[in-house]
Chain A
Amino acid sequence: MSKNDWPLWEVFIRSKQGLNHKHVGSLRAADAEMAIENARDVYTRRSEGISIWVIESNNVYASDPSDMDSLFEPSQTKVYRHPTFYVVPDGISHM
């Protein structure tokens, strides 16, 4: 990276009040303020958002896809965590 390359930022947009910020992509900018201004131009030209978060990509830690099995397997074997595991007698409603 030459000295004038700008860092990479991940961009998250809240599309409307009541919804989460959602990852939409990344961009290059010299600092956070510029990243927000650029994100406005790149990702919200058609009212896609009302709020923007940016975070330097270097600060994102991600799980390793090769650990996927051991990381997520425990939740797959515990079917009793889902309501469909239980038998509800006929005639019972609102449950």
Chain B
Amino acid sequence: MQLAMEQKYSQEELEKRFQDKIDNDIKIEPNDWMPDAYRKTLVRQISQHAHSEIVGMLPEGNWITRAPNLRRKAVLLAKVQDEAGHGLYLYSAVETLGADREETIDDLHSGKAKYSSIFNYPTLTWADMGAVGWLVDGAAIMNQVPLCRCSYGPYARAMVRVCKEESFHQRQGYEIIAKLAQGTPEQKEMAQDALNRFWWPSLMMFGPNDDDSPNSALSIKWKIKRFSNDELRQQFIDVTVPQAELIGLTVPDKDLKFNEETGHYEHGPINWDEFWEVVKGNGPCNEDRINTRRSAKENGEWVRAAANAFAEKRKMRVAV
């Protein structure tokens, strides 16, 4: 289909028609002509997003068997199952761009493809389940809500479903942390400790400062991205700081102050060296996360083979 369009129009005309559609907020669908760079950017972004959902199951999966009661356990199970679902919506979207699902997964396992760095931090206590839901899912929602209006149809539609489900994730996390913050001094300490460890990595989830984010301009022109990294980070800080204050926790940033004039919080410097170290693979859990994913695929090989053999056998029986 790409070919038919290329026979009919010049490259210049194709690009103009494409950009006109984007400018008029007409969605791009899988079989429409699109520039190679647009396709490549989306394949990279959507597959990384899918990997983040799948790897994101691990830090929380760590606590399912140790949830403090049955209600918390059922909720955490449902949340982790949702993350698996989100990963699958996204792999489905990336396949519409002609990418091979297994290849994108192999790229994750070989270290070629990235996923959100936040999942390379360990979840040490039950309070971390609160911090992850409240802060990590909260930051993810900030990022994902504008993606519901992304120019690529299948990605936008997947994001609508993800966002609907994600708000329960954030609320259950805040409920956990709020409960601990109202508990014994030890429990409150645990909640504060989780906030201390997850605050800065959550701010880093929005990516480098705008000046250091060279691909952003093109993504904004193509309406893949609607807001810059710094804009989204600011929005996150503005809504989250009062949520911490309300439950008596302190955001671990001594430079944090509210600017009456702008109506925004000003924050201290982010440790970008730490961010880049984790991106490069040197975070506390990078190796463990990838090894877990790899062994899941290797150990599941016989299941996939058996399912195929069973499907073949059944086909034969129907044919007879």
Chain A residues within 8 Å of B, Cβ to Cβ: 1-6, 8, 25-28, 30-31, 34, 41-42, 45-46, 62, 64-67
CB distance from A55 to the nearest CB of B (A): 14
Given A6-B304, A34-B307, is A66 in contact with B5 using a C-beta cutoff of 8 Å? yes
The residue that B304 contacts in the complex, of A1, A4, A27, with Cβ under 8 A, is A4
A4, A5, A46 pick with most chain B CB within 10 angstroms: A4
Interface residue range, chain B = 20 to 34
Q: Roughly how many angstroms separate A4 CA and B314 CA in the complex, as a whole number?
A: 16
Q: Roughly how many angstroms separate A28 CA and B300 CA in the complex, as a whole number?
A: 15
With a cutoff of 8 Å between Cβ atoms, the chain B residues found around residue A8 in the complex are: 95
With a cutoff of 8 Å between Cβ atoms, the chain B residues found around residue A4 in the complex are: 301, 304-305, 308
Q: Roughly how many angstroms separate A25 CA and B158 CA in the complex, as a whole number?
A: 8
The residue that B310 contacts in the complex, of A3, A30, A66, A67, with Cβ under 8 A, is A30
Q: Roughly how many angstroms separate A31 CA and B308 CA in the complex, as a whole number?
A: 8
Q: Roughly how many angstroms separate A6 CA and B91 CA in the complex, as a whole number?
A: 14
Asked if B165 and A46 make an inter-chain contact with CB atoms under 8 angstroms apart, the answer reads yes
Q: Roughly how many angstroms separate A2 CA and B106 CA in the complex, as a whole number?
A: 12
Asked if B305 and A62 make an inter-chain contact with CB atoms under 8 angstroms apart, the answer reads no
Given A64-B1, A65-B1, is A45 in contact with B81 using a C-beta cutoff of 8 Å? yes
CB distance from A86 to the nearest CB of B (A): 31
- Chain A, Cβ-Cβ closest to B8: A66
Asked if A31 and B1 make an inter-chain contact with CB atoms under 8 angstroms apart, the answer reads no
With a cutoff of 8 Å between Cβ atoms, the chain A residues found around residue B315 in the complex are: 31
Q: Roughly how many angstroms separate A67 CA and B32 CA in the complex, as a whole number?
A: 11
With a cutoff of 8 Å between Cβ atoms, the chain A residues found around residue B81 in the complex are: 41, 45
CB distance from B69 to the nearest CB of A (A): 22
Given contacts A2-B102, A65-B32, 11 further A-B contacts (CB under 8 A): A6-B308, A8-B95, A25-B158, A30-B310, A41-B81, A45-B81, A45-B82, A45-B85, A65-B5, A66-B1, A66-B4
Chain B positions 11-43 with a Cβ under 8 Å from a chain A Cβ: 29, 31-33
- Chain A, Cβ-Cβ closest to B154: A25
Task: Give 8 pairs: A residue, B residue, CB < 8 Å, sorted on A.
Answer: A30-B311, A31-B311, A41-B85, A42-B89, A45-B78, A46-B165, A65-B31, A66-B4
